[in-house]
Amino acid sequence: VITRFITATGTGLGKTLVTAALCHQLRRMGRTVRALKPLVTGFDETSWADSDPAVLLKGLGKWPSFETPAAQASRRMGEDLDSIAPFRFAAPLAPSMAAAQEGRAVDLDAVVGFCRAAMAGPDEVLLIEGVGGVMAPLAAGITVLDWIKALACPAILVTGSYLGSLSHSLTALAVLRAAAVPLAGVVVSESADSTVSLEDTVAELMTWTDAPILALPRLTGPEPWQNAPPLTRLA
Ligand SMILES: Nc1ncnc2c1ncn2[C@@H]1O[C@H](COP(=O)(O)OP(=O)(O)OP(=O)(O)O)[C@@H](O)[C@H]1O
Ligand SMILES: [Mg+2]
């Protein structure tokens, strides 16, 4: 199974968008794909039509568009949600803090075990969306980086084009390199109202790494992942 861990320099930069776009594009090429968002924070169990797991289900074509969100939510709550995102927390915080608010803790071994089971197949490609950035805290002394290292799979780094993003990107790349995480590539997702050119940001990053650097322009529409340029060379 070709496995990719989709991480980012921070939260809200485009991990879910990139993962859903890859699901959509790989399926159109005839490849079988599974996508996971094992750890979700800020999750509302009663209304999750716009949540990360829901967007991934849409990218996988498993969320029929003719159903109302309410009907989808009630029908799919048990089956699909648990198979894509079993570790869910309500507070919109880093996982360690969101778990603490519920008197719980993130169990990295359980998260890794869930991912490893999917890495055994049967799908050709497995996309695992992380949570927050490369070093978002999961539990005491444990960050997303430990999760990536435990899986020993290549990472896709999603970053932005906002002023200051280069330092964030190079910091994340240095941390991944120091941990010997293979880099499948970088996606620069154009930041809203950015004062910096997307193309110039991509060109600059290319001088810092040999990995593929892909530009993802600002997309529009209710399901922007459908309109993404080809990203499949990353998987
Ligand atoms: N290139 C882009 N064009 C248009 N919209 C974008 C782009 N990149 C990100 N967005 C939008 O920004 C929002 C945040 O993106 P997304 O949910 O993919 O980030 P994320 O990294 O998965 O965040 P989280 O850390 O919460 O999982 C979404 O509404 C997404 O559609
Ligand atoms: Mg996301």
Backbone angles phi, psi at 123, to 5 degrees: -75, 155
The question of whether 37 is a catalytic residue gets the answer yes
pTM: 0.95
How much is the pLDDT for 67?
A: 57
Q: Is residue 112 within a helix (H) or strand (E), and if so which, with residue range?
A: helix 108-119
**159 CA from centroid of ligand 1 (Å):** 10
The minimum-distance atom of ligand 1 relative to the CA of 37 is 27
**131 CA from centroid of ligand 1 (Å):** 12
For residues 185 and 167, give the distance between their C-alpha atoms in angstroms, rounded to a whole number.
17
How much is the pLDDT for 32?
A: 97
The minimum-distance atom of ligand 1 relative to the CA of 10 is 25
**36 CA from centroid of ligand 2 (Å):** 11
Residues of the chain short of pLDDT 70, as ranges, are: 64-79
Would you state the torsion angle of the CA atoms of residues 120, 25, 179, 13, taken in this order, to the nearest 10 degrees? -130
How much is the pLDDT for 121?
A: 87
How much is the pLDDT for 124?
A: 97
The ligand that comes nearest to the alpha carbon of residue 224 is 1
How much is the pLDDT for 78?
A: 46
What is the bridge-based pairing of β-strands 2-8 and 125-129? Answer: parallel
Cβ burial of 182 (10 Å; 0-12, 13-18, 19+) is: middle
How much is the pLDDT for 47?
A: 82
